[in-house]
Structure 1
Amino acid sequence: MLGIETQEGFGLGNQLFFYVTARCIAQDKGYQFSVLDPEHFANNMHSDCGLYFMDLDMGVPSKKEDYKKIYYEKETRLFAGNSTHDLTHGVYVTDADRHLFEVEDGTLLYGNLQAEAYFITHKAEIKEWLKVKPEYDCKEYSRENLCILHLRCSDYMGSPELYLRKRYWIQGMRQMRRINPDMQFMIITNDVQEANKFLPGVPAYNFDLAKDYSILKNARYLLLANSSFSYFPAFTSDTVQYILAPKYWARHNVSDGYWASEQNIYKGWHYMDRNGRVFTDEECREELAAYKKRSKKYAGVNQKPAGMRLRMMKLRARYIYKKAYLGKIGRGAARRVKKFSHRG
C-alpha cells in the first residue's frame, strides 16, 4: 500500500498533486492506495466546504501505523538573497525525484510531488478521477474571445519575490491579444478587492470553490499565477487552447535563470519572462539545463551562505522588500489622487 496525508492547511492544488502522484505510482507498482485523512481535502485557509464537486476514490482506509516506511521526496534548495525565507530555508528548485518510482509497498509518501513525470502517462485516467460533477461544471465563461486570469492575492501579497507584479498581467493580456485582437478578460481570484485595485476595469470574481475550479477547467485561454490551484483544471481541460504562466514560476520576479521549481515546467504550456518574451516548455527546459551547467550560484545548491556572502545576500533581500513596500505606497497614493481628481 502507498499512502498520503492531504495535511490540514494545504490548498486544494497541493492536495491534488499529493493524490494524483501517489495514486499513479501505486497503480504502476501494483500497490493499494490510501488517503489517511480525506476529511482535510479542500478544507483549508481558502475554503472549508470540502471537495463536494468531485467523487474522489480515497482508496482503502488506513492508519499511520499500517506503514513500514516513510519516504520524503528529495529536495534541492538554492539559498538566495531574495527574502528571509530564501536565506533561511532556501528556494525550492527541485526536479523530479527518480527514486520515487522505486518506493516499496507499505510506504507513506510526503513531498511537493508536482512533477508531471510522476503521472503524465495516466492523463486519461486522471481526467476521469477528477471529473467535476455535472451540476457544478460551469461552462458559462467558455468562449473563444475570453481569457481567464487566475490571480493569487492575499497570502502572496507580503512576499515581493513571489507575488506577481502588475506588469506581468499587462504583458500577458497583450500577448493574448496578439492571438486574438478581440480578446476579453475576466479574473478568478481569492481576493476580489485587491484584484480590482490591481487591474481596474477587468471584472474579478471569487465564486464558490467548484465554480472557480470549473471556470478555469473550461476556459479556452488561461493567463495564470504561480499557484498550484490552476494546474489540474488546465491539465484535465477539454477546451483550453493556450496557457500562459510566469517563467521561473515562484521566483518569476527575481530569478536569474533558476526555476522554483523545475517541477513546474509543464508540457504544452507557454511561459513569459519579465520582459514579456514568451517561451515554450521545451525552450525553458533547454535554457535551464544550460543555466545549471554554467551557473556558479546553482553549483552551490544545498549550501547555506556564511560570512560576507551572507551579509550581501541580506542587504539584497532588504532592498527587494523595501522597494516593494515603497512601490505599494506609491501605487496607493496614485489611486487616491486619481480618485480625487475624478471627483473634482
Structure 2
Amino acid sequence: MGRPGLKNMIGTELIKGYGLGNQLFFYITVRCLAREKNTDFGFVNPEQIGNVFHSNKGMYFMDIDMGKEISRQDMENYNIYHEQDDRLYMGNSVHDMTHGCYISGPDQGLMDVPDNTIVYGNMQSERYFEKYRDEIRQWLHVKEEAESYEYTADDLCIINLRGGEYTSCPELYLDRRYYLNAIRNMKKINPAMRFMVVTEDEVAARKVLPEFEIHHFDMGKDYVTIKNARYLILSNSSFAMVPVMCSTELKYAIAPKYWARHNISDGFWSSEQNIYSFLTYQDKKGRLFSADECQRELDEYKKTSRLYARRNIRPGKVVAFFQNIKRRLIYGWFFSKKILRSFERRTGIIKTYQG
C-alpha cells in the first residue's frame, strides 16, 4: 500500500555522467517494472535524459514520456533498492583491482520491489523488459523529422565502434582483430557486403578501421542509423543496445562474447545481463555463438571456476602484488599493439578510406 500523500510509483534517479545507453536502460526497466505492477513511474532529475558527455540537447529526437518527477525532498519518503552487484577483483586494470569487474545477472529482487521504491543499478537484463518489447518501441518512438532509413540496405553492415574513454582501457577497448573477424563472418552471409562505421569518436575509429567510411552524425542520427540497420557489428557499448532492441529492420547482429571483458575473460561475462536473445556473439578467434550457447557455457563456468568462487572478495597484499605485475604486462602489450597499428597505417600496410 502506498504511503500517505504519495502516488504509488516505481522510479530511479538519472545521475549526471551516465551515457545515453545507460539512461535508456534505466528508463525502460523502470517503466516495465511499473507496467508490471500497474503503477506510475517517475524519475529524480528527469531533465538529465539525453544530456551526456557528447551531446547536451536532451532527447530532441524523441517525444519521451518521463512520467512523474520525484523531487529530492520527496526521496526520503520512498523505499530504496539497489540491484544485486557482484564483482571480480582481478589484475587486468586499475579499475578491476580497485572497484572490481561487474558480472551480475538478473536480480529477482529488483523485479519484486514494492510500490514507492526508487531503484538503482545496472538494469540491463533482458528478463526485466522482454515481455514489453513491442510497447518499448512505442515508448521510444523516434520523431518523424528525426527518422532516417538512409543507410538501411540488404548489402550494408553498420559497424558501431565505441571510442572515448574506452581507448585507454586494455580490458575494455576492442582490438581491430575483433572487427575484422566480424567482417569476415558478415561476408559469409553476403560476399558483396559493404561496411560503414558509426561512432561517437571518429579519431579513434580512424585508427582502428581507417579503410572504411566513418561517421559521427549527431546523437539522434547515430541512434536511428543503428536502429534501422539490417546488419550490425556491435562494440561492447550500451549505446547501441536499445536501438537494436527497438529495431524492426534488423536481420543479423554480431556482438563481442563476454561483452565488456571480451579481451581478457576466461569464461565470465561483464556482465551476464548483456547476454541477449537477439544477438550472435563472437569470441576472440572469430567463432560465433548463440545467446543460449553463451548462457549454458556461463552456467557451467560458475560451477567450476575458482575465480568466480571468489567473487566479491578483495585480494590480499600478496595476490595484489602479482596482480599489479599482470596489469602492467597487459597495459604494455596493449600500447605496443597501438604502436604497431600506427606503423601499419603510416606505411600503407593498412589502407585508408578514400571517399
Instruction: Verify same fold: TM over 0.5.
Output: yes
Residues 25 and 123 in structure 2, CA contact (< 8 A), matched pair in contact too: yes
Q: Deviations over 1:1-40 (max 9, x none)?
A: 1111221121110000001001110111122111222211
Residues 46 and 69 in structure 2, CA contact (< 8 A), matched pair in contact too: no
- Counterpart of 1:217 in structure 2 is 227
Rounded Cα–Cα distance in structure 1 between residues aligned with 2:288 and 2:328: 30
Rounded Cα–Cα distance in structure 1 between residues aligned with 2:215 and 2:137: 26
Secondary structure of 1:244's counterpart equals: strand
Range moving further from structure 2, 85-94 or 29-38 = 29-38
**1:114 pairs with one of 106, 115, 124:** 124
- Counterpart of 2:192 in structure 1 is 182
- Counterpart of 1:283 in structure 2 is 293
Rounded Cα–Cα distance in structure 1 between residues aligned with 2:201 and 2:99: 28
- Counterpart of 2:327 in structure 1 is 317
Residues 196 and 203 in structure 1, CA contact (< 8 A), matched pair in contact too: no
Aligned-partner residue type, residue 212 of structure 2: V
**2:65 pairs with one of 57, 62, 71:** 57
Aligned residues with identical type, % of pairs: 46
Secondary structure of 1:194's counterpart equals: helix
Rounded Cα–Cα distance in structure 2 between residues aligned with 1:240 and 1:178: 17
Rounded Cα–Cα distance in structure 2 between residues aligned with 1:102 and 1:191: 39
Rounded Cα–Cα distance in structure 2 between residues aligned with 1:103 and 1:220: 37
- TM-score where L is the length of structure 1: 0.96
- Counterpart of 2:341 in structure 1 is 331
Aligned-partner residue type, residue 200 of structure 1: P
Range moving further from structure 2, 214-223 or 304-313 = 304-313
Residues 45 and 69 in structure 2, CA contact (< 8 A), matched pair in contact too: no
State how 1:216-255 maps to structure 2 within 5 Å: 216-255=226-265
- Counterpart of 1:13 in structure 2 is 21
Matched, 1:200 2:210: yes
Alpha-carbon deviation of 1:62?
2.1
- Counterpart of 1:132 in structure 2 is 142
Q: Deviations over 1:42-90 (max 9, x none)?
A: 1121211110111111112221332321111110001111101101111
- TM-score where L is the length of structure 2: 0.93
**2:45 pairs with one of 28, 34, 37:** 37
Aligned residues: 341
Aligned-partner residue type, residue 306 of structure 1: G
Secondary structure of 2:232's counterpart equals: strand
- Counterpart of 2:102 in structure 1 is 92
Unaligned runs of 5+ in 2: 1-8
Matched, 1:48 2:56: yes
Cα root mean square deviation, aligned: 1.5
